Structure 1
């Protein structure tokens, strides 16, 4: 006996066809939408079952569900499942407690904690996943205790967001102890299907210190490599920066390293009033944008470089800087002083409340 086509609610055909086209639609929902559409086209239950690879009772079930509840009837019904027998919060509480001293470990692994609690390590892993606990991870932090924190943050960030008119803002620092490392065997270059490879051991050929001043407005860098990073070398670099910008008013952003504040440096700055130094708060060198550029040169030129001597190292650093300056773009600071201080205050409060 021929069964009458399944009647669709107005607008449901478009919705069902959209479910079939959606790449993210659950497979089960897409299958049910196809069953209902075929039923609406008058296809027999047996033929629908054959085309969809399901049983005839399954086709009848989903025809009935749609007839009773429309598209909502095609969703999976809630299933209570087996009740949880383990308290995940108790597992996490145990995780937050230090392991017994007799174990000799600094933190729990899923297997150690499972043995300690007498449960499976799968249960421990599931509890950690639910609560976002990751005992194997650790990060570093350091809060600035500078009594002038607020004033210095406003001063430095103010230079980034609203630099003085007709003045140059330079972020200045040194990257010390850059090693001239030479691999013991030639590098194997990248090939299709194979990454670049090099030996894990190396030869040391000495070190250099890179002094750099980043022009915030252009992204260009004035730099110099020196064998040491005493106040003598720092002062020599300041004079180089002054020569690079012979007539402009300069605002230098620097950290609180001792060589930046020696009597010789202070005396020279006093003789050159067009140059003003703005210090970042203590333990907050990340406010100095040149640190971002140091990260760039480390990733792009130093980390995987091969250097046969300090001269070779400094030559390749200079080549990178020359190339960088031809393609440089401004460094843009986005966070306001209030946003930075709010985050710092929140972290400090959170840390001291435990």
Structure 2
């Protein structure tokens, strides 16, 4: 007979559902699954002894988790936090170390290392490393930045970003640039292939076999690319590339080209040709703002997925390899979606400039 003094285990529909899920799921921790089965069995009625016999566990185990559930419900079935080793480094010592990291330098050195900070604070190198990681501090790392001084920066940002986010009707927006000085290089020894536990390996030194330039026009809407190699990088080659674009794109479409401020894009010969081809409209990015040109993102894909780990014994071989890779890209093109509005970009730059000015005081 059940103990008349024992509080009965009554489950809500939600508790019943959760406990059944815990008891049945294979990925549930076995200890939690066992506790869930104990509570479900107790909810069916009977004595603690009967529940223990049915489940093949001890009476003490059933009594413990039955009581824990009645007090804390589902939360009561989780393990209680266990006392651990007390902290040896106080908050004051952590604060002093963080302040020293941010506001001081170690003598004539430009930045702290774990060894120099450990020596200065009396902490271990591992403790210094843990605290730096916890606060996201990397004294050894430095990043470079450059702000455009273009007097028309705001207008150009709004113009280019507006093309990306709201392209004109009956028009094609092409991000155009040249990847110049592409080197055909060959390693001084064969590249060793990938093996279990061993990455692919190549020699650090290499032999140069000449350079080429890749002119590319990235279709912002579809992700497809018009590309052509030229051995030189002058306004003559740029004009030849414009003519290639003109022949490749249907005549009924206007062409809006996003370009940088390179001199070959603005020669009198180029301007005269554009006057005779009014469907071409050039939009220039601000100076020092190559990040605004989406074709640079495609060049990064080309570099990371093809050029960085390739070896070529001639410029012709390099051009053929890049041409094949580009054809494969165009067979399944992927556009890069621009998400930041012009206001977002300008607000972020304004905030960044504010931080720079504040750091100088």
Name the counterpart of 1:100.
106
1:211 shift after superposition: 0.9
Structure 1 unaligned regions, length at least 5: none
Contact persistence 1:190–1:196 (CA under 8 A): yes
Equivalent in the alignment of 2:215: 211
Moved more, 13-22 or 172-181: 13-22
Is 1:6–1:39's contact at 8 Å kept on the other side of the alignment?
no
Q: Which residue of 2 aligns with 1:8?
A: 9
Q: How does 1:65-144 map to 2 (within 5 A)?
A: 65-75=68-78, 82=86, 85-87=90-92, 88-102=94-108, 104=109, 106-144=110-148
Aligned pairs for 1:301-316 within 5 A: 301-316=306-321
Q: State the TM-score, normalized to the length of structure 2.
A: 0.81
In the TM superposition, what are the counterparts of 1:258-297 in structure 2 within 5 Å?
258-297=263-302
The 1:255–1:38 alpha-carbon spacing in structure 2 relative to 1, beyond 3 Å, is same
> What SS is found at the alignment partner of 1:156?
helix
Q: Deviations over 1:242-281 (max 9, x none)?
A: 3333734221100122332233333333343321110112
Which aligned pairs between 1:142-153 and structure 2 lie closer than 5 A? 142-153=146-157
TM-superposed deviation, 1:31: 5.6
Task: Tell whether 2:21 aligns with 1:18.
Answer: yes
Partners of 2:247 and 2:2 in 1: how far apart? 95
* Secondary structure of the structure 2 residue equivalent to 1:307: coil
Q: How far did residue 313 of structure 1 move?
A: 0.8
Worse-matched range after superposition: 123-132 or 308-317: 123-132
1:222-250 CA-partner distances (Å, limit 9, x unpaired): 22212232333323322332333373422
Is the 1:111–1:121 contact (alpha carbons within 8 Å) kept by the matching residues of 2?
A: yes
- Per-residue deviation, residues 125-168 of structure 1 (Å, max 9, x unmatched): 33223322233433332233322222111211121222222222
Please give the root-mean-square deviation of Cα atoms over the aligned residues, in Å.
3.4
Residue 236 (str. 1) matches residue 232 (str. 2): no
Change (3 A) 1:75 1:174: same
Q: Is the 8 A contact 2:39 2:66 kept in 1?
A: yes
Mapped to 1, the partners of 2:237 and 2:284 lie a distance apart of 19
User: How far off is 1:10 after superposition?
Assistant: 2.1
Give TM-score scaled by structure 1 length.
0.83
Q: What aligned pairs does 1:164-183 form with structure 2 within 5 A after superposition?
A: 164-183=168-187
**SS at the partner of 2:112?**
coil
Distance 2:28 2:336 in 1: 42
Query: What residue number does 2:347 align with?
Result: 342
Structure 2 residue ranges without an equivalent (≥5): none
Match in the other structure for 1:250: 255
Aligned residues: 349
SS at match of 2:233: coil
